[in-house]
Structure 1
């Protein structure tokens, strides 16, 4: 007799309870990354509201400075990587909070633009896509 048949017999006799259905508690759709440019930290935060109602800034839990909402796609650099944090700060100061940016190709539609990897590339990026910048109150 296989295991499944034995389990069914035990359940019929009353020696085994049926597994209780698991109830999944629904929470926010996703977390947003808030980065503090002063202490070079990033924290993920969930909110029980619509994503369009998430705050642009919040108080940094570490240094009590301003932490900026950089969206769910932001991958923070290491705290010791000063060059990358300078790039992030430069982009944020110019209105680029790691939102998705699309550029139109000739006739083949739109494609997603990658964010720059260095400060020099960031300066070119800001100049090229300045019309895509968003305004945030720091």
Structure 2
């Protein structure tokens, strides 16, 4: 299938880098252009942590392992409507987040 002209961030956990790649609608994984390991596609709003920020990388890996790729997650708003939920700031918050929003977790293949 032809790739889109849209790009998406693909994250390499081995290099701890993000690469903007053409978004193939059928492919959530691509080979890392630097190390050759597998990268995974994240939501376009995702921003990779600094390579040296071990705590943030552990949080991102924990969220990934529980089906959260920084896709949109919704919470009940104060006036009854839906609003975007904020992603957790650290690993402790992430543990609560994956339980509270488990219905939004996704499996990518």
Q: What displacement does 1:108 show?
A: 2.8
Q: What displacement does 1:119 show?
A: 0.6
- The structure with higher relative contact order (CA 8 Å, sep 6+) is 2
> Paired residue for 2:29?
57
Which of the two has higher C-alpha Rg? Answer: 1
Q: What displacement does 1:106 show?
A: 5.7
Look up the SS of the partner of 2:96 in the other structure.
helix
- Is the strand fraction higher in 1 or 2? 2
Residue 122 in structure 1 maps to residue 94 in structure 2: yes
- Is the helix fraction higher in 1 or 2? 1
Alignment partners' CA distance in 2, 1:106 and 1:83: 32
Q: What displacement does 1:66 show?
A: 1.3
Structure 2 segments unaligned to the other structure (5+ residues): none
> Paired residue for 2:15?
39
Equivalenced residue count is: 106
Alignment partners' CA distance in 2, 1:63 and 1:115: 29
Structure 2 length-normalised TM: 0.87
Look up the SS of the partner of 1:86 in the other structure.
helix
RMSD (CA atoms): 1.7
2:46 to 69, 74, 87: 74
> Paired residue for 1:101?
73
Structure 1 segments unaligned to the other structure (5+ residues): 1-26
Structure 1 length-normalised TM: 0.70
